[in-house]
Amino acid sequence: MISRMNSSKVIGLVALAEKPGLGEALRIMRRELSRHGLGSCVIETPDALERAIGRCGMLVTFGGDGTMLTVSSLAAMHRVPLAGVNLGRLGVKSNYRMGIKDFLLNS
């Protein structure tokens, strides 16, 4: 999916709530995206998400199910693919648990 993404678009990294490990996860993700020639932006508020979504080719949420649910309707409306990194306790909706560092470093 990322390889087919419009090269003028960036990947929006959505972090609406402070969670343990969030800063490290964002740093790793931004570094790895850059290493692969992909731009990214960190989005920290719902208002910022509404302003930025037009330039995003994909969104990755960092948080729990609440973050994923908050972002999903706007992503669907704009037809922007959405993935999630679970930093919460349950993680029913998010794709990856906080082992994201291992996931990114081994990809």
**Residue of 17, 32, 42, 65 marked catalytic:** 65
- Are residues 75 and 82 in contact, defined by beta-carbon separation less than 8 angstroms? yes
CA distance 58 to 75: 9
CA distance 22 to 33: 16
Told to judge if 102 belongs to the known catalytic residues of this protein, a careful annotator would answer: no
Active site residues: 65
